[in-house]
């Protein structure tokens, strides 16, 4: 049916279609009066919360409102003395807090969750004023998730003794949180720390401290015991004072990779626990069969949520060539309709950038992208002139090596690149030093689930983006840090084995032993000289002569020479790492296949048990019975990890959406291992076997004093179907060799058992690529299965990848 347009001046009413086409959103401001009145009641000035009391502070700084640029409040600048007082209060409160039964701590966390819910709108508006993010996000996402985390961890507090036996809290935990999700990051850290029985000293970000201060008020209102939660506000110097404090037992940090490196160095060799959630440059991978309209909305959630100020923002759009132009056109159309304005307006999509320095950084990186040849597109409309705003931005024609494709911009800037094949998509996705999150879009679930495990990231979302829940762990690989927040994985970050408080007994060899170079020469044997059996290194499944051309004498405690080994050096370590990297197929074997090989190792070691026992006795001087016991324990340990190889499963998390979150255990990759001197065979097997069982490859430095047990063992490896490169052995001085492993960018983790100075060197060197480390210098009783095998070793041998899979129409 033909339609006609009413003449000018006609009184005819517009049609429904005309109204629909012209419909626009009017302003819908959220009232902020109650929150501003709350600030005014405090005269606009806030202090620290220490030991259950408010402390004024000696100096203050302005907190600015991003949407207007005006001062919002003044907050105390924490000093070293303030940090000392907060740590002392936390230490004083620790015994009573830990003495509470599980139910009592659960009740306190439940009270915090209820308090958050009762004051949800107040927290949401305050967060929006302080941070600049839209009220729709703080009201509908941030604050509900905060309450969810406290509820979830009230459950873990109730179940602590039954679900985490043999473990207890670290003690005093120092926590430093960022400005992009101020209250949510507080919940991610404070809830598990308190549930585990720790006490807390928290420093909020200097740009956004107000919701943390309001949370401290809530803590005070519900009557949480004094000193259990302490807040010291301030800038980076305050955070550094917490990190450096000798009476802090663990540090949890979320922020930039650069600061994370500095914290890793600062805590090296101190024995402090450390978890780091750092930067990201997350890929958003779109295959040609994806629903492009859904993809567009996914991109909106991935990069323009919170103005792109999200560590896991999908800032790299990787799109298959055949649909790239169509998707870019749809994105430009959608960007033209995004609304940027006052974050208190419930109809806006994007609010303000948190601070002028961050806005300047975003602009500078955008200009750098243009200078490097990329094409920049922004909507036609202008952003508000008051406050700090940046429009949504799309870069195309971006080279994979371009700065904007490698550097975390932390703003509403999307960079797009194309690929042709799934293999190329994976290569592009992994082509950064980060590994926090990724998003995969395809209607072919087989393809999506094939790609997800290949991505070097701790979280993968299938046909979705930026999904979070307290039940599902969140955290990264590589330079995105280590540790997890949320779920069972997150609870482990705040617990340590009870035995870690006790120095384990060491065998006699640990006391008064002379070094290899200081021992006197052995006496000559009568008769004919022995036929030389100097062991070589074991690299890539083959015996290899050391690059140095030198050998080291191995002597018993009495000084008698019992053999020689090659003196490994940096080149030998390099060769061993290359061989281990080439053995990646080991990780693809089924758990059952790895179990069969571990059983075979045990079988072949058992056949030579007397020989290995005699070797141990010759080196250590222990009775033959002790040597036989060590061999028997090594055989049992191989059986243990053969048993675990097909049983150390992940989990399916119960998250509140139509879908599942699969927590997959993935091998770390290449792991460097420095073995202890006591129990030279059992220590070697106890460290290598769990790594083998979980699909890792190893470069092992055996006992420096008594390496012959490990060099004898490579003949067992050769006859037990262990693929070349899965286990590599380099003998020599432990600390110089392990330092080379810690420096190596292709090593994913280092396990070190030696001196405290050696541990400090390993942890400092690991900061270069933020590899995982597990260092000990107090000793373990390796014969005791409770201390030397089991889940603790398996947890250390894997990293958890959470894959979110929505389903339903």
The catalytic site residues sit at 277, 311
Evaluated on CA atoms 777, 782, 785, 786, the torsion sign reads negative
Q: Around 175, how many Cα atoms within 13 Å sit in the side-chain half-sphere?
A: 31
d(CA 74, CA 700): 54
What's 379-427 look like in SS3? CCCCCCCCCCCCCCEEEECCCCCCHHHHCCCCCCEEEEEEECCHHHHHH
Asked if 155 contacts 96 with a C-beta cutoff of 8 angstroms, the reply is no
If you write DSSP's letter for every residue of 263-298 in order, what string do you get?
A: HHHHHTTS--EEEEE-----EEEE-TTS-HHHHHHH
Distances (CA, A) of 102 to 109, 110, 196: 11, 12, 9
**Helix orientation angle between 120-131 and 182-195, rounded to the nearest 10 degrees:** 130
Burial of 7 (0-12, 13-18, 19+ CB in 10 A): exposed
Distances (CA, A) of 345 to 31, 119, 305: 9, 20, 15
Cα Rg of the chain, angstroms: 29
d(CA 174, CA 242): 6
Q: Which of 744, 797, 751 is nearest to 776 (CA)?
A: 751
d(CA 206, CA 301): 26
Q: Which of 583, 590, 785 is nearest to 694 (CA)?
A: 590
Q: Where are the beta strands (DSSP E) in 481-618?
A: 481-482, 495-497, 537-539, 542-544, 551-555, 561-566
Element (H, E) at 107: helix 102-118
CA dihedral 210, 211, 213, 217 (to 10 degrees): 140
- Bridge-based pairing of strands 437-441 and 375-377 is unpaired
Residue that is written with structure tokens 């507090």 in the block: 157
Distances (CA, A) of 484 to 169, 170, 254, 277, 473: 16, 16, 11, 8, 5
Structure tokens at 707: 């390496």
Q: Which residues pair with 175 in a beta bridge?
A: 202, 252
CA 765 distance to own-chain centroid: 18
What is the phi-psi region of residue 770: left when phi exceeds 0, alpha when psi lies from -120 to 50, beta otherwise? left
Burial of 63 (0-12, 13-18, 19+ CB in 10 A): buried
* Torsion angles phi and psi, residue 739, rounded to 5: -65, -40
Q: What is the DSSP letter of 474?
A: B
d(CA 116, CA 110): 10
Structure tokens at 167: 């473990």
What is the phi-psi region of residue 373: left when phi exceeds 0, alpha when psi lies from -120 to 50, beta otherwise? left
Can you state the percent helix, strand and coil of the chain, rounding each to 5?
45, 20, 40
Q: Which of 794, 670, 668 is nearest to 741 (CA)?
A: 670
d(CA 9, CA 633): 97
Helices (H) and strands (E) in the chain, counts: 29, 32
């Amino acid at each position: 049916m033909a339609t006609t347009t009413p003449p000018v001046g006609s009184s005819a009413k517009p049609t429904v279609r005309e109204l629909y086409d012209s419909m626009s959103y009017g302003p819908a401001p959220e009232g902020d009066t109650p929150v501003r009145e709350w600030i005014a009641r405090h005269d606009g000035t806030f202090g620290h919360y220490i030991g259950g009391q408010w402390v004024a502070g000696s100096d203050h700084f302005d907190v600015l409102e991003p949407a207007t640029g005006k001062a919002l409040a003044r907050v105390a600048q924490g000093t070293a003395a303030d940090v000392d007082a907060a740590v002392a209060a936390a230490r004083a409160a620790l015994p009573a807090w830990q003495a509470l039964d599980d139910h009592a701590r659960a009740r306190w966390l439940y009270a915090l969750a209820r308090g958050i819910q009762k004051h949800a709108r107040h927290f949401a508006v305050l967060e929006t004023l302080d941070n600049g993010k839209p009220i729709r996000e703080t009201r509908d996402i941030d604050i509900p998730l905060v309450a969810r985390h406290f509820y979830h961890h009230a459950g873990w507090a109730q179940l602590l003794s039954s679900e985490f036996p043999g473990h207890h809290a670290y003690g005093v935990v120092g926590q430093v949180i960022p400005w992009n999700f101020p209250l949510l990051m507080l919940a991610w850290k404070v809830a598990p720390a308190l549930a585990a029985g720790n006490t807390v000293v928290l420093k909020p970000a200097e740009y956004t401290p107000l919701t943390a201060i309001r949370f401290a008020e809530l803590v005070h209102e519900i009557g949480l015991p004094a000193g259990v939660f302490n807040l010291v506000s301030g800038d980076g110097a305050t955070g550094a004072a917490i990190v450096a404090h000798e009476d802090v037992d663990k540090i949890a940090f979320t922020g930039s990779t650069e600061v994370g490196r500095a914290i890793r160095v600062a805590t090296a060799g101190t024995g402090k626990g450390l978890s780091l959630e750092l930067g990201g440059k997350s890929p958003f991978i779109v295959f040609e069969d994806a629903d492009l309209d859904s993809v567009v909305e996914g991109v909106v959630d991935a990069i323009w949520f919170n103005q792109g100020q999200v560590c896991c923002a999908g800032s790299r759009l990787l799109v298959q060539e055949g649909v790239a132009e169509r998707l870019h056109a749809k994105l430009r159309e959608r960007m033209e309709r995004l609304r940027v304005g006052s974050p208190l307006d419930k109809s806006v999509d994007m609010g303000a950038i948190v601070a002028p320095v961050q806005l300047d950084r975003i602009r500078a990186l955008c200009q750098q992208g243009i200078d490097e040849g990329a094409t920049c597109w922004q909507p036609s409309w202008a952003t508000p002139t008051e406050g700090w705003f940046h429009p949504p931005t799309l870069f195309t024609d971006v080279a994979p090596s371009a700065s904007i494709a490698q550097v975390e911009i932390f703003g509403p800037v999307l960079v797009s690149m194309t690929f042709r094949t799934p293999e190329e998509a994976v290569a592009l996705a992994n082509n950064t030093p980060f590994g926090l999150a990724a998003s995969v879009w395809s209607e072919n679930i087989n393809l999506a689930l094939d790609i997800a495990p290949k991505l070097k990231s701790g979280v993968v979302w299938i046909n979705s983006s930026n999904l979070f829940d307290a039940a599902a762990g969140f955290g990264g690989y590589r330079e995105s840090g280590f540790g997890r927040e949320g779920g069972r994985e997150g609870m482990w970050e705040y617990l340590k084995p009870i035995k870690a408080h006790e120095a384990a007994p060491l065998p006699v060899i640990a006391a008064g032993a002379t070094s290899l170079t200081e021992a006197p020469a052995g006496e000559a044997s009568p008769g004919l000289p022995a036929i030389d059996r100097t062991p070589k290194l074991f690299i890539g499944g083959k015996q290899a002569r050391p690059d140095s051309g030198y050998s080291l004498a191995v002597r018993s405690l009495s000084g008698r020479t019992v053999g020689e080994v090659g003196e490994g050096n940096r080149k030998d370590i390099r060769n061993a790492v290359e061989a281990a990297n080439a053995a990646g197929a080991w990780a693809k074997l089924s758990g059952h296949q790895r179990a069969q090989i571990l059983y075979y190792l045990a079988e072949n070691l058992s056949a030579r048990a007397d020989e290995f026992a005699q070797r141990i006795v010759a080196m250590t001087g222990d009775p033959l019975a002790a040597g036989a016991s060590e061999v028997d324990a090594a055989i049992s340990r191989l059986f243990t990890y053969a048993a675990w190889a097909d049983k150390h499963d992940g989990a399916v998390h119960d998250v509140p959406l139509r879908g599942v979150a699969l927590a997959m255990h993935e091998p770390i990759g290449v792991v460097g291992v420095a073995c202890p001197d006591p129990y030279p065979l059992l220590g070697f097997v106890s460290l290598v076997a769990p790594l083998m069982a979980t699909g890792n490859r190893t470069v092992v430095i055996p006992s420096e004093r008594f390496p012959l047990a490990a060099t004898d063992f490579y003949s067992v490896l050769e006859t037990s179907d262990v693929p070349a490169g899965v286990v590599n052995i380099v003998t020599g001085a432990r600390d110089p060799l392990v330092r080379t492993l810690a420096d190596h960018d292709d090593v994913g983790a280092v396990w070190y058992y030696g001196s405290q100075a050696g541990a400090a060197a390993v942890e400092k060197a690991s900061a270069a690529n933020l590899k995982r480390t597990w260092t000990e210098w107090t000793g373990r009783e390796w014969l005791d299965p409770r201390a030397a095998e089991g889940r603790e070793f398996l947890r250390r041998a894997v990293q958890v990848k959470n894959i979110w899979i929505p389903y339903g129409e």
